[in-house]
Amino acid sequence: MRRTQSPELAVTGLSENLQGSIFRAVKRAIVIGNGCAGAESQCIGLVRSLGLFDRHLYYSVARPRGGINRWLQWLPISIHKRIYHFINHICAGFSIKASGITDVFEVADAKQIAALARSTFDKNGPLLVVASGSDTISVASSIRRLAMEHVFVVQVQHPRSRLERFDLVITPRHDYYSLTPEGKRQIPFFLRPWVTPREPPGRNVFLTTGALHNVDASTLRIATVKWKDEFASLAKPLVVVNIGGPTRNCLYGVDLAKQLCGMLKSILWSCGSLRISFSRRTPKKVAEIITGELSLNSKVYIWDGKDPNPHLGHLALADAFIITADSVSMLSEACTTGSRHRKPVYVVGAERCTWKFSEFQRTLHERGAVRPLTGKENMSEKWSYSPLNDNAEAAKRVIQDLAERGWKIEA
């Protein structure tokens, strides 16, 4: 006989497992982002892996941009907000407009979200809160403080201090690079708290290999359907080149751009098609050099930055990837796609990375997921490697921690 859920359980948001134990069902999620697509996609990726993608609300904690605000970005968002409103008030008193202040704050209201969690708990069960980015830390931790018995708060990316403010922190293993022997040699003791966490991860910290992201089997299937007709005429192998931008720990410029152009020209003989994409962080001069050197080749297509963005189509349909070492997110996504198709991932500029970026590159290389691009490759070559599975492993940890509280994700 098929088991049926009692009306009382259905109304109160309780569910029953096979052993008869009563669990509260987590049926909804709130995502708090900081206006950065990379940070927000990590939250969405976790929510998607938990099966709550179509049952989540999104809140943003975004700073205003332009003018004087570029000098205030290093301040905590609460202090930035006070200064912002003070300047507006002063300018209004003199009937002048504050130069460059164009946007208002879209700050998720911690008190409002906590009140929602408390008031709907009996009917709808606990609320899962997933946040990412430094500007979301104070909001997410406040929600937990105000509604601790009614929410489960996950902070994606390391908040750097006071981890007890969150139920779970999900962060890449290389964030703890300063604790490795090499990290201790490179980073002075007094600088470590400002660079990477100094203390070993505690019970509520889950370590991933790369960054969480919004790419899974379902996403790739949808992208395949959407882009297959446009890519159908492209000769194989289809090689995708993703170019990011220099960071403090992965410095490069026109020198690497020229080196990359030479290597790409050397491997073109083995490519059916080569598609190049730049990110918003790519320096203009780097993009100009690569475009000038390669755009006239009939095998090469360079995305002009206009919609629609082919990124998901590239991930779904490429035969191999070439990616600059600065982008943890792009490398994490590409190294996730290799389970069925064994898609090779080549890295450019890894030797220029330091600190935790070099640790991430070392980890990917040791598991066989990436190889350095030399310009001598045959792009038809493939190799086997264990793909990254960070999203699923992080979701499993969330489910385990929820179960310890007598909660579970509603299927």
Mean pLDDT of the chain: 86
Mark whether 151 and 272 lie in a shared domain.
no
Mark whether 125 and 195 lie in a shared domain.
yes
The CA distance from 76 to 186, in Å, is 28
Is residue 299 pLDDT above 50, yes or no? yes
Residues 207-232 have a mean pLDDT of: 95
- Contact predicate 102/64, CB 8 Å: yes
The CA distance from 30 to 107, in Å, is 14
Q: Which range is most confident: 189-198, 248-257, 397-406?
A: 397-406
**N- to C-terminal Cα separation, the chain:** 21
Mark whether 56 and 181 lie in a shared domain.
yes
Mark whether 311 and 363 lie in a shared domain.
yes
Mark whether 181 and 54 lie in a shared domain.
yes
The CA distance from 345 to 364, in Å, is 10
Mark whether 121 and 246 lie in a shared domain.
no
Mark whether 168 and 262 lie in a shared domain.
no
Mark whether 51 and 197 lie in a shared domain.
yes
Mark whether 164 and 28 lie in a shared domain.
yes
For the record, the structure tokens of 115 come out as 């009140």
* DSSP designation for 196: S
Whether 101 is covered by a domain: the verdict is no
The CA distance from 290 to 312, in Å, is 22
CATH of the domain at 26: 3.40.50
Mark whether 18 and 143 lie in a shared domain.
yes
Whether 76 is covered by a domain: the verdict is no
Whether 73 is covered by a domain: the verdict is no
* Tens digits of residue pLDDT in 333-364: 999 986 555 799 999 999 999 888 999 999 99
Within 13 A of 142's CA, how many CA atoms are on the CB side? Answer: 15
* Tens digits of residue pLDDT in 19-74: 445 678 999 999 999 878 888 999 999 999 999 999 999 998 866 666 666 666 66
Mark whether 168 and 290 lie in a shared domain.
no
Whether 91 is covered by a domain: the verdict is no
pTM for the complete prediction? 0.86
How many angstroms separate the Cα of 388 from the Cα of each of 44, 213, 216, 328, 367? 17, 11, 11, 12, 10
Give the number of domains in the chain: 2
The C-alpha R_g of the chain, in whole angstroms, comes to 24
For the record, the structure tokens of 145 come out as 């403080």
Whether 75 is covered by a domain: the verdict is no
Q: How many residues does the chain have?
A: 411
Whether 372 is covered by a domain: the verdict is yes
- Contact predicate 66/104, CB 8 Å: no
Whether 2 is covered by a domain: the verdict is no
Whether 144 is covered by a domain: the verdict is yes
The CA distance from 196 to 376, in Å, is 37
* Tens digits of residue pLDDT in 160-211: 888 999 999 999 999 988 888 888 887 777 777 777 777 788 899 999 999 9
- Whole domain around residue 115: which residue ranges? 7-62+106-209+392-409
- Contact predicate 379/237, CB 8 Å: yes
Residue 200, classified by CB atoms within 10 Å of its CB into exposed (0-12), middle (13-18) or buried (19+), is: exposed
Mark whether 226 and 253 lie in a shared domain.
yes
